[in-house]
Every structure is written in C-alpha cells, then in structure tokens.
Structure 1
Amino acid sequence: MAGPEDPPTILFVGQHETQRTEAVTPELLYRAQNSGYDLLTAPITTSAFQSRVLETLQEYVKMLNASSEQKDVPLPLLNPLSPEDTNLVPLDSNSSLIAVTSPWIDLASHDPLIAHVSRQVFNLEVAYAAFVGINNILIHGPISSSGTMQYARTLLEGLGMGPYISINVLLPMSGELEQDISADGIHLSELTRPEYAEEVEDVEEGEGETEVYDAWETWNTIRTVCNYSTKLSIALELPRQLPAVNLQSRWYSEPIRLLPLPRTSFWRNGKGFPVLSKQHQQYLTQFLRLRFPPWVLLSDVGAVPSLSNEAAARASSEPTPAEAAADSNEQPLDLIQHLKYMRHLQQSQPTRPPIERFGQGYQDYMQSPLQPLTDNLESITYEVFEKDPVKYEWYERAIALALKDLREKLGEQRKVVVAVVGAGRGPLVTRALQASRSTGIGIQCYAVEKNPNAHVLLQHRNATDPLWNKQVTVVKSDMRTWSGPPTMGGKSGKVDILVSELLGSFADNELSPECLDGVQHVLDPNHGINIPQSYSAHLTPIASPKLHGDLLGRASTDLNMTMAEKWELPYVVMLHQFDYLSTVQPSAEDPRTPVVQEAWSFWHPISTNILDLAKSRADGHIDAGGHLGGDGTNEHNSRSCKVTFRCAHRGVCHGIGGYFETVLYSSPTSGQKIELSTNPVTMADKSKDMISWFPIFFPLKTPIYVPDDAEMEVSMWRQTDDRKAWYEWIVDVYIRMGSRRMKLGGSDLHSCRRNGCLM
C-alpha cells in the first residue's frame, strides 16, 4: 500500500465502446461521470456518413466502368459533413471526450482510390473534432505495414489541423488488436481492387507468425516521419497475455497516452469478478508512477448505467473487489464491475521507493549540470541535497574508519586534522564531528568554502550549533589557493584527512579532479587520506523518445547559444520513461539488468610526479603546449574510452545514460570499503536509496536505429584546454555478417566545448 509520504495515485479511467450505438450527449457523459468514469470516447461520424461514403465509391466505380478512358475520370470528392453525419456539437463538456475516427477507413491502402477516400474521411473528421473543441483523437493503426509510410504522412498533415489537436494511434503490443475494430458495414480495405491487392508470400508451417516487434516497428516509422511530435502519442492495447519483458520495456519507454483494456484482458477470479493478472498489475504500476500517467480505456466492458441506476453506480468505487463480486448479480454493478476493480487498484498501489518520492515532479526533466566552481549556489540548492538519507551517513562511516586507521599510525599525541573543502552549508563538517564523537578520537576541523554567502552561514553554525561548539575553523577561500592549517612559526601545516563532495552525475563533470589536484598540496604526503579516494564514470546506451522529443521542442534560453548547441550539452535528468538497449541475459529474479561499462577513473591523491610535471608546464619550464590549447597544465585529467555494447533486440538509441561509482574510503587495516554508486547495476548493493544524484544524459542529435543482434560502439572523451573541461561523444552501430563486421550507421561527433565547465 502507498505510504503517507506518497503522492496520491492519479488514474483517469474512460469508457470505450467499439460500436457505440447511443449518441454521446451531455446526458450520457453525466451518467458516465456519476458512475465513476472520467472520460468517454465518441465516434466523430455516424453510420449515415459511412453509407454516404460507400455510395460515393459505388458511383465512382460506375463512372470508371462506363468510361473508355479511365484516366479522364477524376477521383471522387466527399462533400462536407452534414447534421446527419455527426452527433457532435461544440460544448464545454467536450473536454472530457476522446474523439474516435472511423475504424473502417484504410489510410495505408495501396489502392489510390481507397487511400484517397480514406484521407478525405480522416481530414473531415479531425477538422470537425478540432472545431467542436475535442483535443484528443483516437485513430486505428495501419492495417498494412507496407503502407505505414503513407499512413504516417497523412497523420503528419492531421497534426497541423488544429493547434491543440493530439492524435493517439491505437496499436497492439504485438500481433493483432484483441478488440473488434470493425463497424457496421464494409471496411474500405475489402474494396481494394485486385490490381492493387498485396501479394501474400507462401510460408512454411511455423514461419507465418507475426513478428513480435512489428507493431513497434510500425510506430517507430510513424513517429519518425512525424518528427517526434509531442502531439502524437500511442493508445497501446494491453492484451490478455503480455509479451516478453524486453518488449514490455520497449513500449514503456514510448509516449503512451492511452491504455485500452478490452474485456478479454481481464480474468475472472474465484467469485467471478474481473481482475488483471499480477503481470498486468505490475506493468500498470510502472505507468502510474510516471509524471503524467496514461489514461486507461475500458473497452467493451459494459454500457454506461442508466439514470435509474445512478445511485448504485455512484457508490461503485467504494467496495472492494470481493464485495463487488458478492453483489455481481445486481445489474447496475455488473455494468461497472471492471471500473470498480480499476479504482481498487488505484487505491492499493505499492509504496514508491525513496528516489521516486524525492524526485516527484523531476521525472525526465532535463537540467543543466551545476557549476559550483564557477557559480555560488543558493541555499535551497544545498538544502535539496542535504536531504539524502544515505550519502552523509556513508561519509560519516568513511571518516570514522579513516580516523581509526590514522590513530594507529599517529598514536595519541595529537588530534587528527580534518579539512572539509567545499563545505557548503556544513553537512560534512557535522558528520566529521559526529565521527569524532562516536570513535572517541579528537579532531581539529577546518571548513573551507569559497561561496561568501555560505561562509556567513558556516560562521553562524560554528557560533550556535552545540555540536560545532566554536571548535571549527571556518576559512573563506577557493580550496586551490588555501595554504593549509597554520603551525608554529607561521608555516603552513598539513591535513590528515581531506573530505570533499565535489562529484557530479558523471563523477568528474563538476571538476572534482581539478579541484582536488589544486588542494592536494595541503594533504600530508606520507599518511594523508582523501575522501573520496577514487571515482569512476560509467555509461550505457538508452532509448528515450520523451527526452529526444523534449529537446526537439526546446528553445534555447541562452542568447549566446544556438539552437543546434542544445544537442551538444549533457543534461542531469531523473531517467524514468526510458529503456536500456543493452541488457544481460534475463533471469526470473532480474528480468531487465542493463549492461553498464566503465568509461574512466580518477584517484586521489595522485602521484606528486604528475603534479610536478603539470607545474613545470604552467611555469613555462617545459616548452610543450597542450594539444587542445593552453600550456597543458591539466592534460593529465584528460580521459577517453571506446566501449562496445551488444544489443539483442532492435530499438532506437537517443543518447547515452551516465552514472558513477566512488570509493569513499577503503581501510587497509580492516579491509572494509565504503562506497557510493548511482550505477543501476551496483547501486542497490553499495548505496541503496541514495537520492543526491540523478543520472546524466548525453543526447544524440539524430537517433540511430539499432537492429537485432547489433553492436553499439560508444566513443567518449574528457577534454581540457587548461581553462575548462568538456566532453565529446559519438556512437556507431555495427552488425556481424559471418566473420565480417559491417558498419550500419553512426552519429555525428557531439562536443560541449563551447559550453564546458570553467576552471
């Protein structure tokens, strides 16, 4: 069950009838909403309109047969809609309707006559739905996969028929739709002339099964032609038997607006009440945790109760499924028993994990990474990260472990000198003091912070916080220019433990290596301990149509940045509606584990030989400029990698997901290791429920199609010109043909050099 801190589960449920006989009037909508439904579907046109279209086709065929020159006979034109053709009129209540285009048209037909008439029907219906104020339109997917391009081109035109129109394409997860999509009368595909009929190839027994990814391939073509329009979504029918987890995950990453649930998707429990399988419930829970969950459409599960049964229907959301089953003999409740079950699921959703509760509202919201070295952060920014229930507890453990190891080396003669560099509002200072108290080992604590506003708060805390008790030395300085603790004789002393939290979502993207290099001179060269001791960047290719679509529609707010440069930036984002393209062999316990590979690592303290060489280059003692400009002072912090991922199932790569792992402290005495991780493979073992960092996303300007059993090669560089650091990335796709490895495609080289992190 959801906990008290969980936001309420939002679930809009609509009622859909594939062959609705009752006109959708305000009175019908009133009855539906009083029964517990939020939405209704409404056919845009009536059976009279279908009859008129068929008559027009018949007249055209007669003209063709009577003409000696068929090329002189123009294609038929449909007259505008008449009052007999539609029951819809402009009403305020239309905002609660989903308009359904005629299911008997065939936009993908190879017959130019059928395609021409179908396009006219579609255009007339969409234009009229927009006119009467219905924004959401449901259209059946293409009948023929070979005509998908033509179908998509028609939808592209339809999207421009109104500024608020949203089109939802009804598609099966795999195979064919389970609900009946036909209507009274003839489907236009049945009228295809023989010369335009598709040839069906002979297949051997067992080879004629529908390919499970066919529906997804159809959708991928449609949304690509429509340029990832945010006005185009999917109405994904959930079948009685869900497909393999990899296909479920692929669909989950797509922009699904509607989830039609036909009657056949439900099972009957022991008391005869309709229920969903455990797999369906778990899949639905994933969707309900999205920032904007899709609407559920109960399809052909029962008519809307009449007004005489309104009172019984209004109470329908209260009983449990078991109570509803006991009352199932009463006709009013029979009509909405599926709805009652959905409301029960809405109220009984499991508790969200801490990262989701913390990030509510930030799902798939792209933000530029922080630059705390360049910018002075606001107090609220510090406060958000200080709410992490794991990170600071792990830091305290690491400091306590380091104190115990140093006590054995230093003895009882003096206090251990601990410096927190980049102290912010002081959470690590507090943890260092608590570690000192818990271990009984005295420390001399320094808090170094360059932000003048945070420096004021640190002084205030030192004067008023009982734990600090005026024993912390607060220093206003950039850590790289701090001379270190003073000693007798005016000389600078050394620090025994240097603590920092400079890591970004990709570990090094907030210039932790450069900052710690600059402050290493204050660390005791013999026994000094850096916390963290090391960190590594990790990556994996992902499919995220949502992020790609958001970037397409995003206008640059930086006057110094061109529109093209939005593709040249990494973004910090709480990845949610996405899919991994490379996964390990699934198991019952772990059906969807990504392959995440290491890009590079950093260690602290680094060799003094490296720092001495960097200083010599900076002083001009070595006549060797940097390969990217400057004098090469920071070239030792450049990195590069080339990693290969095998992708068993087809998909589209929209970018690279980035994570990190860090060793805060590894004790040589006890062998104990304190680690943090955002890597989805290791996070649960190393730092479960940590919320301080979201992943990083490196976008691709042009998505790359990845076929089955392909290899993706990701090349990435961390570059520097001594003034700033930036990333460059490129993705290539290969497939093996026997002993040959053939390249199928690749991205442009992306570089955020112009907007790199300033040092």
Structure 2
Amino acid sequence: MDNFVDVADAPPTWYIGHHETTRLLPVNDQLLRLAQDANYDMITSPITTPHFHSNVQALLSSYHAELDYSHSSDNDNDDTLPIPTPDTLPIPLIPALTPADSPLIPHDNISQLLATTSPWIDLASPDAIIANISRQVFNLEIAYAAFCGIQHVIIQGPILEDGTICTSRLTQYARAIQEAMATGPYLQLYIVLPTAPSSSKAPENQSHLSRFARSRESFDIIEAASAWTSWEAWNVIRTLCNYSGRLTIALTLPKRLPSTSIQSRWYSEPVRIIWIPESSFIPNPISQPVLSRAHKSLLTRFMRLRTVPWLLLSDVGPIPSSLQASEEMNGGILPIAAAAGASAWPLPSDAKAADHKKSLREDPTPHLSYIRFLQRNQPRRDAIERFVGGYQDYLQTPLQPLADNLESITYEVFEKDPIKYEWYERAIARALMDWQAESKQVSSSTGAVVIAVAGSGRGPLVTRALRASAATSVPVQVWAVEKNPNAYVLLQRHNEKEWNRQVTVVKSDMRAWKGPVLPDGTHGHVDILVSELLGSFADNELSPECLDGVQHVLNPANGISIPASYTAHITPIATPKLYADILGKSSSDPSGFELPYVVMLSAFDNLSMLTPEEAELSNTEVKQENGTTPSQDGTTLPIPDVQTCWSFSHPAPASMLAQSNLRRGGSAMGGWGGVNGGDGANEHNGRFAIHNFKCKERGTCHGLAGYFETVLYEGTDGKRVELSTNPVTMDEKSKDMISWFPIFFPVKAPISFPDNSELQVSIWRQTDDRKVWYEWLVEAFVNVGGKKCRLSTSDLHSSKKNGCLM
C-alpha cells in the first residue's frame, strides 16, 4: 500500500480506549502516561470505589434487616406498636461522598478520562427501594463527575431481563437519565447497550443491587423478547429525553453479530463508542486475537461516518508497565494521541515490519495491536468519499436559482462532477448523430444544428456541446442563455478565450428569450435545447416551469430537449441525527420541519426493504448486479423500496401549454381560477402521489428520502443516456455521480410502528402561479384480524412559506 500523501485521502483517525471491569485503583497521571505509551488514547475510570459500594450495601442490608425483624413471628416487639412496612419505614439515604468513596479529583488530564458510573446499580428495578437507592447513587456520581470536570460518562444500560422490555421500568430509567443531563449540563452521556440481546441473563456480579429486589410493581407492561429488544429500549430512552445531542450510545459488539437489518438500524443511530469486549475476538492460526470478517466490515462502515465512533477495548488485559514492547509491536509508529493525524499514516519499513512479526508472540497488548493494524490498513477514500466527506448528514436549504443569482463557488462545486457532464456530452453527441442520420431539417440557414444551453452558468454544458460537435463532425450553432449578470461576464470571457467566438452569449431569463436572432432581425427556433435545471427531487428547482417557459423557441417539428424526461422517487427512512438537528433549530426557526432539505444521507436506515424477487414483482427497475450486495454468508441483501412519485416530459404537449396560456390572464374560457390561488396557469405542473411501503421490521420514521432519475436522451435505437440518484438504479445508470445529494422531507413527530406494519406516504407538488411548494403526510397502519388499522398520522407538512419562487 502506498503512503498517504494527502490527509484528506487518509482513512479517519481511530481513537482507542482501555476499560477494565475490575479497575479499582485511581487513574492517576502515571497510569495515563502508561496508557498513552502503550498506544491507547483514553482510559476509563470508575467514579466511586468498592468502599462506597460496601457502604451502600450495608445501608440496604440494615433496611431489609429491620423489615425482616419487624415481621418475624418470634420477635419481642410490643403488639401495640405499628409494624414497619416499605410504605412506613424511611428509605435509606445515601450520605455525601467522602475521599474514600471516589478516586476522582480535578486535575489537568481529567478530560482524557471516560468516567463510568457504578455497574452494580439498577435504575430500572421493579423494586421501588432498589430503584430509589440506585437513583441516589447515580445522581451523586453524576454530580461529582461534573464537579471534577469530567466531560464523558459511560452509563450501564437498563437490564433487559430475559430479553424482554418492561415499559414502566424503561421510562423510569429514561427519567433518571434526563435528571442526570440537568445535573451535569456539560456532560456527554453514553448508554451501554448490546447490539442485540443474547440469552439475556441476570448480572454476574453477586453484589449487584438487582439481586436484592424483593417486590415488583403491578403496572409493568412486558413485551416479548426480540432481536430488536435492545434497539427498542434505546428508542424509548432517547425519545423521552427528546433526542438530546448529549445522549449517545456505547454499542457493545457480541461475538456473533445480529442480522444485517439490525446492524443497519444501529448504523443510523448516534453510536459514539463501539465497545469491544475480549470475548468478541477469536484466535487466528498463531493464536493471536482477531475479529471476524463480519466484525471488520461493521467497523469499516462505522468508521466511514462523519462522526467517527471511539473504540473501547474491554477486559483485554492490563496496561503494560513499559513502552518497550509496545514500540516493538507498532513498528515504531507514534501513538495516535501524540501524532494527531497525518504524521501517523506512513507505514513502517520492511525491516520494522519484520521486527513486528518477530515479536508477535511477545506482544503485551495483542488486541490493541490488531485494532491498530486494522486502522493502518483501512481502504483509501475514493474520489466520491473525499468529495462528500464534509457534507455527510449536513442539512442544506435547496437552491432557488430563479430567485437568486448563484455564486461562482456554487457553480464550481457542480462542475467537479466526474460523470454528469460526460453523460451530457454523450447525449448531445447521440442526438446530433441521429439528427444527421435522419436528415432532419435544421433551424439555421447554414445547415448547422442550433443548440441552446438554457441556464448556462459558467459554461460547462456549452463546452460539452462544442466537443460533441467536434466528435461527431456535425456542425452546430450554439447559444448560451444566462440570466445571472455575473456569470454572463464569465461566459463572454470564455467565448473569447476558449470557444473561439463560436458561441452567441445572451443575458436573459430563458422564459423571456425570444429565440436566436436571424439575419432579417426576426427570431428563429432551436433544434436541441440543453439544460441542467434539475434539483435533488428533479422538479424542486422548477425545471418544469423553466422548460415550459422556453419551449416556444424549440423547433416545433423536430425539437429535442435534453433532458427529455425525469421522475421523482421517494422512500421512508429513519435518521435520528437529522431529526435531532432540525429539532435543535426549531426553537429559533419554528418552520424547520416544514422545509425539505438537500443532504448527503449517511447515518440513516431504509425502513421498507424488498427482496430481489419482491422488487421484480413490484416492477422496480433492478438487476441482480445493481442495488444488491452479497452479505457475509453469500446471500443477497434486500433492496430499498424506492417508489416513483411522478414524472415530467419535454417538450410538453402543445395542447397543455395552450390551455396554460388560456388560463393565464383569468379569462372566462380559462376556468374559474387556480385551486391554490392565481389563475391556475401552472396547475398542469402540480402533482399528487400516494404510496404504501411495507415495513417488516419495527422502526421509527423521521422523514422521507427523495431521489430522481432522468432520461437525457433516448436514441432511435432505443438506447438511453440516463442519470440517477436513486440508490436502486444509480450504479447502473450513473455510478459515481456527485452533483446531486438526496432531498429529505422531515416529519415533525416521528412515526413509530411495530413489525409487519405499513407506512402510507401522501405527497403533493403544489403551485399558485407564483411559487411551487411540497406538502407531505405519513401514516402508519397495522393489520389486526385481517383489517387495516391506523396506528398514527403525522402532521400535514407544507413548505409553502418557503416555496421556490417562480
């Protein structure tokens, strides 16, 4: 593997920590230095000591002893005195911490510690006494950690007894977490949860408070065990904590990973720590600990997220007391904490690699060395990943190119696409060859095919049109039409310096352009009209309205539009991060959930999936090699159910535009007016779609992901030049295209649903002749006894206030 020259080309930095369940001694500066020398970046520290644990147990034992003695048949109590009960005997109070109760003190390096709350408490206990004492302990620890300057606290998740979920106990747990966030307003809290519950068992610690529980509340609602139990518990906790950005997950990797659908769900959640216990490693042929292929694949996927999780190695052995062995094991590579990025990436020389192999069996930190090995051998980011890296899950308001004049940097971003303009050139070239082969009448007097680039921007399509002409030897006459006065200056310069004055540059809104000027002063027609007006949902930047407005210049007999048609596509998704981001802005922008966003989706999960066979039955355009990926066991993974909302074709039927012109002006023959206001002249571009998505696995819908496909040109041989952002067809039609990110329609109140549910999506494209906006609605249904029952309905969202101006 070559050395990485560019930091942007390097895999992400991995931060790796060390955790010991039995760590009892204080984590002082000396131990921190040893951890760093061993190539760890962080270390965990308990907030309280076994001394504190013993005191709490003693209090609880005294309390139970008093209850037991009072109820003993052979006690000598006076019968006239009331017998203490859990309702009358005061709950034990945990006293304030003493120096013997906690190893923590404020110091300069405390920010490098991950504090862990007591793993022996049970915040979700069905016994009210145990729950109360646990909450007292928890609040004491959180308050003291915050006082000491701790920033990161790891909290043991709720005990999922026998793999079940008890609703009342989960809400009890979530409330305790909510209190903790108020106690330490600057703390980041990490809830330890298994990827999926195995045969969930009681805690092995004999002194765990759950073993002292004596009573159970009668209002518990128990849900059956499921592979989704762990995620379901997290969903309850984070929902009650209002999707706080300070509450995230420490996800424990089991030795055997759950299904890919569960893995994908966790991938969409805010996982900030990946907890790898020693039991998840397996020995290789020379008895060194390694991870399975499935585990490595999961790690690689997580490490491609915008926010890279930390890795925490648990119970993999003590921190070595010297640096020598660590240096031998890592080929002399500096610890990441010291190297801080690019300087850590060059690989060791062959000699150092040989020394590395020689000392394998003497490695004091074999688990850490293996993880560092995986880090150094992560695949490079390809061009697409490098381009989108800074945009992952970053919400952007869609452009309004009609209302606003774009900046040069915006055009420049579009022009970096390695696919789009190449495909446009192919489409133009094929159109020119077909035109010549069919001997069609051209609109110019010189025999050249007249091409107009409507909305030329900085001119990339103009350049491609000229290249297509040169490649096909078909003469062309090119017109560049652009309303942006700043881009107009640059187009004229390009015409002088690069296009050899072959282009006529026109400053005009395309809808007001009268067409090419002929020698006699009249206006002629255009044979091929080229545009790149599509947005993330195809029509969201008013491509239909713009192309309708310029269609009058198109050759009425043989005129070609590139693109010829486009379709909008949609699917429901879970994306907690985007929902939390919008929720965080809603206090200052109440309309945050009434606006679709352009976003490079990364941490999300498709809620409706189809097998390849189901996709065939639903007429989804998919091939075995497209949109399907073999899983680790060789089976074919499901395909997202992405359904078509509506389509537009150009040139539009003349009769439709004639009716539109009739309505414009409000004549009696034009009807009574538009449904949403105005005369209704643009109502032919309004659309409505309703779709049903089957969701086999339970989940929460935070919104809708929108994509598009377009046919740039379909040749006389039936072959098409197409672009697609639809994840099902993108690899087949335009792999590696980066010009358009998906669009996201958020849902104000997330829709939760059980297994085997159905989501019904209604979406409208509305217009009042002045602007265009979208409205959307999500409903959840479940089949009960053969009848379709509605579970919940979202608000009717509308982007009218922020509609795209015409």
Counterpart-to-counterpart distance in 2, 1:159 and 1:721: 47
Equivalent position of 2:389 in the other structure: 360
Q: 1:627 to 1:505 in 2, by over 3 A?
A: same
Equivalent position of 2:73 in the other structure: none
Which string of whole-angstrom CA distances, capped at 9 and with x for unpartnered residues, describes residues 337-357 of structure 1? 111111111111123343321
After TM superposition, the structure 1 = structure 2 runs for residues 651-690 of structure 1, keeping only pairs within 5 Å, are 651-668=699-716, 670-690=717-737
Shift of 1:211: 1.5
Equivalent position of 1:427 in the other structure: 460
Shift of 1:161: 1.3
Which string of whole-angstrom CA distances, capped at 9 and with x for unpartnered residues, describes residues 577-606 of structure 1? 000001112764641420100000000000
Equivalent position of 2:179 in the other structure: 157
Equivalent position of 2:538 in the other structure: 507
Q: 1:575 to 1:402 in 2, by over 3 A?
A: same
Which string of whole-angstrom CA distances, capped at 9 and with x for unpartnered residues, describes residues 95-143 of structure 1? 1111000000010011111111000000000111111111111111111
Counterpart-to-counterpart distance in 2, 1:177 and 1:315: 41
**Residue 638 of structure 1 pairs with residue 686 of structure 2:** yes
Which string of whole-angstrom CA distances, capped at 9 and with x for unpartnered residues, describes residues 547-588 of structure 1? 11111112577xxxxx33100000000000000001112764
**Residue 312 of structure 1 pairs with residue 314 of structure 2:** no
Counterpart-to-counterpart distance in 1, 2:779 and 2:305: 31
Q: 1:321 to 1:538 in 2, by over 3 A?
A: farther
**Residue 572 of structure 1 pairs with residue 598 of structure 2:** yes
Equivalent position of 1:93 in the other structure: 109
What code does the residue aligned with 1:41 have?
Answer: T
Are 2:610 and 2:640, in contact at CA under 8 Å, matched by a contact in 1? yes
Counterpart-to-counterpart distance in 1, 2:637 and 2:357: 34
Which string of whole-angstrom CA distances, capped at 9 and with x for unpartnered residues, describes residues 297-329 of structure 1? 0010010011xx222223432379997565244
Counterpart-to-counterpart distance in 1, 2:235 and 2:529: 51
Equivalent position of 2:337 in the other structure: none
Shift of 1:55: 1.3
Equivalent position of 1:581 in the other structure: 607
Aligned-pair identity (%): 54
Equivalent position of 1:371 in the other structure: 400
Aligned match for 2:550, one of 519, 527, 531 = 519
**Residue 462 of structure 1 pairs with residue 495 of structure 2:** yes
**Residue 650 of structure 1 pairs with residue 676 of structure 2:** no
Which string of whole-angstrom CA distances, capped at 9 and with x for unpartnered residues, describes residues 664-715 of structure 1? 00012x2221000000000000000000000000000000012111111100
Between 1:509-518 and 1:190-199, the stretch displaced more is 190-199
Counterpart-to-counterpart distance in 2, 1:199 and 1:693: 49
Counterpart-to-counterpart distance in 2, 1:585 and 1:246: 13
Aligned match for 1:257, one of 249, 262, 272 = 272
Q: Which runs of 5+ in 1 are unaligned?
A: 202-207, 558-562
Between 1:545-554 and 1:190-199, the stretch displaced more is 190-199
Are 2:666 and 2:673, in contact at CA under 8 Å, matched by a contact in 1? no
Counterpart-to-counterpart distance in 1, 2:739 and 2:635: 27
What code does the residue aligned with 1:724 have?
Answer: K
**Residue 418 of structure 1 pairs with residue 451 of structure 2:** yes
Which string of whole-angstrom CA distances, capped at 9 and with x for unpartnered residues, describes residues 356-414 of structure 1? 21111111000000111110000000000100000000000000000111113237960
Between 1:191-200 and 1:53-62, the stretch displaced more is 191-200
Aligned match for 2:146, one of 130, 138, 147 = 130
How many residues align? The count is: 739
Counterpart-to-counterpart distance in 1, 2:189 and 2:695: 31
Counterpart-to-counterpart distance in 2, 1:460 and 1:752: 39
Aligned match for 1:41, one of 39, 44, 52 = 44
What code does the residue aligned with 1:649 have?
Answer: E
Counterpart-to-counterpart distance in 2, 1:690 and 1:328: 44
Counterpart-to-counterpart distance in 2, 1:354 and 1:179: 47
After TM superposition, the structure 1 = structure 2 runs for residues 373-388 of structure 1, keeping only pairs within 5 Å, are 373-388=402-417
Equivalent position of 1:80 in the other structure: 96
Q: 1:515 to 1:162 in 2, by over 3 A?
A: same
Could you state the TM-score of these two structures normalised by the residue count of structure 1?
A: 0.94
Aligned match for 1:327, one of 355, 359, 362 = 359
Which string of whole-angstrom CA distances, capped at 9 and with x for unpartnered residues, describes residues 490-515 of structure 1? 21100000000000000000000000
Q: Secondary structure at the match of 1:574?
A: coil
Shift of 1:68: 1.8
**Residue 530 of structure 1 pairs with residue 554 of structure 2:** no
Equivalent position of 1:437 in the other structure: 470
Counterpart-to-counterpart distance in 2, 1:452 and 1:527: 32
Shift of 1:7: 3.6
Are 1:614 and 1:633, in contact at CA under 8 Å, matched by a contact in 2? yes
Are 1:257 and 1:294, in contact at CA under 8 Å, matched by a contact in 2? yes
Are 2:699 and 2:752, in contact at CA under 8 Å, matched by a contact in 1? yes
Q: 1:195 to 1:400 in 2, by over 3 A?
A: closer
Equivalent position of 1:140 in the other structure: 156
What code does the residue aligned with 2:645 have?
Answer: A
Equivalent position of 2:677 in the other structure: 629
Q: Secondary structure at the match of 1:684?
A: helix
Are 2:451 and 2:476, in contact at CA under 8 Å, matched by a contact in 1? yes
After TM superposition, the structure 1 = structure 2 runs for residues 15-30 of structure 1, keeping only pairs within 5 Å, are 15-30=18-33
Aligned match for 1:703, one of 741, 750, 763 = 750
Counterpart-to-counterpart distance in 2, 1:40 and 1:315: 22
Please tell me the root mean square deviation across aligned C-alpha atoms, in Å.
Answer: 2.2
Aligned match for 2:661, one of 599, 608, 615 = 615
Shift of 1:647: 0.6
Q: Secondary structure at the match of 2:234?
A: helix
Q: Which runs of 5+ in 2 are unaligned?
A: 71-81, 332-347, 613-629
Are 1:541 and 1:655, in contact at CA under 8 Å, matched by a contact in 2? yes
Equivalent position of 1:55 in the other structure: 58
**Residue 173 of structure 1 pairs with residue 195 of structure 2:** yes
**Residue 242 of structure 1 pairs with residue 251 of structure 2:** no
Q: 1:321 to 1:574 in 2, by over 3 A?
A: farther
Equivalent position of 1:539 in the other structure: 570
Equivalent position of 1:6 in the other structure: 9
Q: Secondary structure at the match of 2:639?
A: coil
Are 1:582 and 1:595, in contact at CA under 8 Å, matched by a contact in 2? yes
**Residue 337 of structure 1 pairs with residue 376 of structure 2:** no
Equivalent position of 1:597 in the other structure: 643
Q: 1:554 to 1:198 in 2, by over 3 A?
A: closer
Equivalent position of 1:32 in the other structure: 35
Could you state the TM-score of these two structures normalised by the residue count of structure 2?
A: 0.89
What code does the residue aligned with 1:691 have?
Answer: I
